[in-house]
Amino acid sequence: MLQATNLTKKYGNFTALNSLNLSVNEGEIFCLLGANGAGKSTTINLFLNFIEPTDGTASIQSMDVTKHAKETKQMLSYIPENLMLYPNLTGLENLDFFCGLGGKSYEKEQLVELLQQSGLQPDFIHKRVGKYSKGMRQKVGIALARARQASVLLLDEPTSGLDPKASNEFSELLLDMKEKGVATLMATHDLFRAKDTGTHIGIMKEGELIEQFASADVSFQDLEKLYLKHMHN
Amino acid sequence: MQQLLIIIKKEIIIALREKLVLVLGGIMVLLLGIALYAGFLSYQQQQTIITQKQAEKREEWLHQGDKHPHIAAHYGTFVFKPKTVLSLFDFGLDAFTGTSIYLEAHHQHEFMFRPAQDHSSMIRFGELSATLVLKVLIPLLIIFLSFNAYTRERESGTLKLLISQGISFGTLSWGKILAYCTILTIILSPFLIGLLLFSWVGNPSQAMPDETLRLVLLTLAYGVYLFLFISFSVWVSLRSSTGRNALLILLSSWIFLTILMPKTVVNLSKSLYTLPSMREFKEAIEQGKVYGLDGKTPRSERIASLEKRLLEEYKVDSVHQLPFNFEGVKMQDGEEYTHKVYDHHFGKIKETFHRQNRLSSFASLINPFLSVQNLSMAFSGTDMYTFLHFEEQVETYRREMIRKMNNDMAENSKYGEFFEYAAGRDLWEELEDFSYQPPTVGELLQQYRLELASLFIWTALFLLLINYTNRKMKPLHG
């Protein structure tokens, strides 16, 4: 579903990402762990075609994202660390707007249902997003991903700054989407969330994917030790 | 197309929920309303006075009683520059050029009753008129409406979310541009409807037969000008990293385009192409009349030469023996020489005006504000070209009036008998009432071709620039 082949991004002499190879299949959640500047967000941005790769390819459903920007974007949904919506529009209006842009048309009642399923309190559905907390905005993002019926989910530290309850709800929603066959690539600092939600984990350091394994193959303690070992070396 | 409509709708909803946009939009609607109403009242008042005075002066001419034609030529009459209904929209140079002129023998008078004479020097900064609001203030509204079209999306992070939906920068930019065009149309609609209504109420056909076409062209010219400002603002926002930078660039450009450059062009044209003072101008004309254009042919010599030529031509010894009143022919000959003197000196003045205007036309290739300023005055009939065109027709009329009086004197009276001869109403009626035929739209388009080219070139340039930038743009640098 998601494939990075020798994916490289350089800014002058600085290598932000060096020859990354990874794949994420249907129903998998691949969590990228790493310190700031490890190359996690660069990877996500390359899959989104927000930046051009220096070398290699990022592909979705075997389509190079730089050559098939429109087609590949129609398959994905993206939730950044801090999902920003239009503060002067309500949650419902924001969802309607972004769904429309993606070519999906829903009745108002269906959109309300999607927002409720994503955990947004009914009282807030018709309120302007300017009054939303970060967790509420992330839930609109999840509703959008559901509404778009995305087969690929790209998440850039989506639970950063969320309270434990909101973070937990978010993980549940991810697992729900995983069950529906969505391939998810998530950049995160949260080891616990990666172990808890991810099917695969990759550790990145200085633009390189230095280790990747199935989540089930390690315990949380082992993961923590492994991560700290790499960070200290 | 669907995406474009969705973007337009979203931008309009967001803009209408912004207090700043609502307040500024409301102020513009109010200012345009006041300017339009004040313009209409002023137009109506002046038009009523002009129509009334023109009729009064005509009656005075016709009922001046029996008198010698030359006395009638000095008694003279007045003609008035008709107000065009579109002058309620753009006062143009009317405040500076004057509205009426006294016509008499021997003298080509200057225009009188210039409203600018009754105002302080502040009038040079512009009266509140619809054109001032449209040319200067609406672009300011556009800047506040659109400076953060992209920067806010970029700074808040919504741009990444938008682009991740598969929308192109092209669709986004055009969606924003068309949304701002729609918002502006909403703000300007009451004014446009008001202008149309006032045009009908104002009985336009009297002064300007092609008024509807002029109104359409005015709307088009302003439409293109405001579209250019919107495109420019969105493009600057697209290229800027922060809203602050975009606002700074746009406000600096606004000051340069609408205030600094127009004033500089006026000052430069005045310095490069200097007009003589009124005293110098009048002195030169008097010198020309008395001593001839070459300074060596005094009036007495010219009269002697005419007398000699006529005596030879009619083979007589004295002007008393001529089959016409020599006095009348002498008057007309003197008048025709005076025409040459006026044509010579006014020609130089007109050439200077022409050069000054040409500089402004060339400058409009750099600044579309100057294009729309010149086109606006032209279509409203308040520009220098129309004024000179009117002045030319008035002078032709004056010359015809004097020629008729002199010819009548030559044909019907005897030499040496001045007070014995008196013409009457039949002669006064021979002179038709003055009726001004303004330049056609075709003539104006030809005259202002550089301004039209400027709007066309800038539109094409912006379309290319926006499309090029859209293609090259990425939500993140790198």
Using the Cα atoms of residue A33, residue A38, residue A39 and residue A44 in order, give the sign of their dihedral: positive
- End-to-end Cα separation, chain A, in angstroms: 33
C-beta atoms of B13 and A89 within 8 A: yes
Q: At which residue do the structure tokens 């700043």 appear? A: B20
- Flag whether A91 is in a domain: no
| pLDDT attached to residue A138 | 84
Chain B residues closer than 8 Å to A94 by CB: none
Which of A128-142, B152-166, B254-268, B312-326 reaches the highest mean pLDDT?
A: B254-268
Q: Which of A157, A228, A231 is nearest to A194 (CA)?
A: A157
Cβ distance of B158 and A84 shorter than 8 Å? yes
* B18 contacts chain A (CB < 8 A): yes
The two tokens of residue B197 are 């209504």
Q: Does B1 touch chain A (CB under 8 A)?
A: no
Domain for residue A93, yes or no? Answer: no
Helix (H) or strand (E) holding B25: helix B19-62
Which chain A residues touch B165 with a CB distance below 8 Å?
Answer: 73, 98, 101-102, 148
The rounded distance, in Å, linking the Cα atoms of A93 and B69 is 83
pLDDT score for B290: 81
Residue numbers in A near B2 (CB within 8 A) = 100, 103
Inside any domain, residue A103: no
Is the pLDDT assigned to residue B360 strictly greater than 70?
yes
Supply φ then ψ for residue B24, to 5 degrees.
-65, -40
Domain that holds residue A225: 2-84+150-232
pLDDT of A233: 67
Q: Are A177 and A207 in contact (CB under 8 A)?
A: no
To the nearest whole percent, how much of chain B has pLDDT over 70? 94
- Evaluate if residue B157 carries a pLDDT over 60: yes
Residue numbers in B near A11 (CB within 8 A): 478
pLDDT class of B123 with cuts at 50, 70, 90: very low
- CATH number for the domain that contains residue A74: 3.40.50.300
Question: Which residue in B158, B166, B475 is closest to A86 by CB distance?
Answer: B158
Percent of chain B with pLDDT strictly greater than 90:
31
pLDDT for B232 equals 94
Please calculate the CA angle B399-B387-B226 and round it to the nearest 5 degrees. Answer: 165
Average pLDDT of B195-223?
A: 80
Quick check: B237 pLDDT over 70?
yes
Phi then psi for residue A157, to 5 deg, are 50, 60
Q: What is the pLDDT of residue A91?
A: 92
Mean pLDDT value of segment B369-376: 94
- Whether residue A101 and residue B157 make contact (CB cut-off 8 A), yes or no, is no
What would the mean pLDDT of A53-75 be, rounded to a whole number?
Answer: 90
Match 């104006």 to its residue by tokens: B444
- What one-character-per-residue DSSP string does B181-193 give? HHHHHHHHHHHHH
Distance (Å, whole) CA B219 – CA B212: 11
CB of B10 within 8 Å of a chain A CB? The answer is: yes
pLDDT at position B477: 58
When the pLDDT of each residue in chain B is averaged and rounded to a whole number, the result is 85
A189-219 pLDDT, tens digit per residue, is 888 888 888 899 999 988 888 888 898 888 8
Is residue B348 packed enough to be buried (19+ CB in 10 Å), middle (13-18) or exposed (0-12)? middle
Confidence check: pLDDT of B475 > 70? no
- String of DSSP letters for A82-128: T----TTSBHHHHHHHHHHHTT----HHHHHHHHHHTT--HHHHTSB
CA distance A25 to chain B (A): 20
Residue with token string 């193959």: A217
Tell me which chain B residues have a C-beta less than 8 angstroms from the C-beta of A82: 157
Q: What gap in Å lies between CA A30 and CA A41, rounded to an integer? A: 14
Q: Inspect the interface and report whether the beta carbons of B478 and A9 lie closer than 8 Å.
A: yes
Within-domain flag for A128: no
For CA atoms A183, A186, A191, A192, the dihedral sign is negative
B162: tokens are 């938008």
- pLDDT tens string B51-82: 888 888 888 888 888 888 888 888 888 888 88
* Contact of A70 with B166, CB cutoff 8 Å: yes
Strand order in the sheet with A55-60: A14-24, A2-11, A55-60, A63-64
**Is B116's pLDDT higher than 50?**
no
Q: Mutate which of B3, B10, B472 to test chain A, going by most A C-beta atoms within 10 A? A: B10
Mean pLDDT value across residues B408-424? 79
B12 touches chain A (CB under 8 A): no
**Helical spans, DSSP H, in B292-416:** 299-314, 326-363, 368-380, 384-412
Distance CA B409, CA B429 (A): 16
In a domain, A95, yes or no: no
State residue B188's pLDDT score.
Answer: 93
Q: Would you say residue A57 lies in a domain?
A: yes
Measure CB to CB from residue A73 to each of B17, B165, B478 and give the nearest one. Answer: B165
Which member of A45, A73, A88 has the closest CB to residue B166? A73
Whole-number percent of chain A with pLDDT over 70: 99
Helical pair B326-363 and B449-472, crossing angle rounded to 10 deg:
10
Residues A137-174 have pLDDT tens digits of 888 888 888 888 888 999 888 877 777 777 787 788 88
Ranking B105-119, B248-262, B402-416 by mean pLDDT, the lowest is B105-119
The answer, yes or no, to whether residue B453 has pLDDT greater than 90, is: yes
- Our count of domains for chain A comes to 1
Q: With 70 as the cut, is the pLDDT of residue B110 above it?
A: no
Phi, psi of A10, deg, nearest 5: -120, 140
Region A77-90: mean pLDDT is: 87
Contact between chains at B165 and A93 (C-beta distance less than 8 A): no
Pairwise pLDDT comparison (B251 vs B114), residue with the higher score: B251
Contacts of B152 in chain A (CB under 8 A): none
Ordered strands of the A208-214 beta sheet: A76-79, A152-156, A183-188, A29-33, A200-205, A208-214
Q: Is the pLDDT of residue B430 over 60?
A: yes
Q: Which residue has the higher pLDDT, A193 or B218?
A: B218
In order of B141, B399, B403, the CA distances from B396 in angstroms are 47, 5, 10
Does residue A36 sit within a domain? yes
- B17 in reach of chain A (CB within 8 A): yes
Handedness of CA B467, B470, B471, B477 (dihedral sign): positive
Q: Is the pLDDT of residue B478 over 70?
A: no
* Residue pLDDT, tens place only, A101-139: 888 888 899 999 989 888 888 889 999 998 888 888 888
Q: How far is A221 from chain B (nearest CA, A)?
A: 35
pLDDT surpassing 60 at residue B205: no
What's residue B368's pLDDT? 94
Of A73, A76, A100, the CB nearest to B6: A100
Nearest CB to B164; choose among A73, A84, A97: A73
Is residue A224 a contact partner of residue A191, using CB atoms and an 8 Å limit? yes
- DSSP letter string over B130-170? HHHIIIIIHHHHHHHHHTTTTHHHHHHSHHHHHHTTT--HH
